[in-house]
Amino acid sequence: MRQLFAPGADALLRLFIFTMFGGIILGALVVGGVARSAYVTSVGIAREQPVPFSHKHDAGELGLDCRYCHTSVENAASAGLPPTTTCMTCHSQIWTGAPMLAPVRASLANNTPIRWVRVNRLPNYVYFNHAIHVAKGVGCTTCHGDIDAMQLTSRAQAFEMNWCIDCHRNPAPNLRTPAEVFDMAWHPGPDQPKIGAALLARNHVRRGDVLTDCSICHR
């Protein structure tokens, strides 16, 4: 009987199959790596702003409270951005002629807002409310990182869906007392499980299936 395939055909077929599956797996790993890279998520990358505002200086070194600039963080979905008049409360007295603050002075003189570049942004189909998180005991640094140490503001979290859901499933490790919500130096201590459990009950935090329901974030 005449042989249809060469003696090495079987080995070549196996090599082709293994190479194909290996390529698929490698491709998936590459795509996954790129999707989670700083190039895509912008984590740790400072965006160029019209004014090089330093949270490290104002919040870290001077100790300004977050609410001084982000006035609506306790009662609205958005934390809010300060109007130019807030900036000029200080800078009408200090650094009055600094070149880097020229856009601030121009904003006040022309009565036009400063066009800040958004750093922490969620997709349009995601609903997020700062006020409810603050009221339940979630602090600024939980989501925004050590912002008081940032010379230029950058994103601390990728805000991927699984990151949010992990907290919604078990929020206790991230809950603080009202006095600690805006404390930039806060870190969970050894008694955090006990404190977190108490705050869950006190603040009526609905965890489990309620907080992981799709309608919580997608409305």
Domain hosting residue 146, numbered range: 55-81+116-217
Phi, psi of 68, deg, nearest 5: -65, -40
Provide the percentage of residues in the chain whose pLDDT is more than 90. 76
Q: Is the model more confident about 30 or about 189?
A: 189
* 192 in a structural domain: yes
Phi-psi region of 205 (alpha: psi -120 to 50; beta: other; left: phi over 0): beta
- Residue 219's pLDDT band, with cuts at 50, 70 and 90, is confident
* 175 in a structural domain: yes
* 189 in a structural domain: yes
C-alpha separations of 5 from 1, 13, 18, 33, 41 in Å: 12, 11, 20, 41, 51
Question: Are the beta carbons of 57 and 108 closer than 8 angstroms?
Answer: no
Lowest mean pLDDT segment, chosen from 1-5, 117-121, 175-179: 1-5
- Residue 8's pLDDT band, with cuts at 50, 70 and 90, is low
Write the pLDDT tens digit of every residue in 105-119. Answer: 999 999 999 999 999
Q: Is the model more confident about 87 or about 32?
A: 87
- Residue 4's pLDDT band, with cuts at 50, 70 and 90, is low
pLDDT at residue 206, as a whole number: 82
Question: Are the beta carbons of 184 and 59 closer than 8 angstroms?
Answer: yes
pLDDT at residue 22, as a whole number: 81
- The total of structural domains in the chain comes to 1
pTM here is 0.81
* 69 in a structural domain: yes
pLDDT at 38 over 80: no
pLDDT at residue 12, as a whole number: 75
CA–CA separation, 161 and 149 (whole Å): 26
**Averaged confidence pLDDT in the chain:** 90
* 159 in a structural domain: yes
Write the pLDDT tens digit of every residue in 89-99. Answer: 999 999 999 99
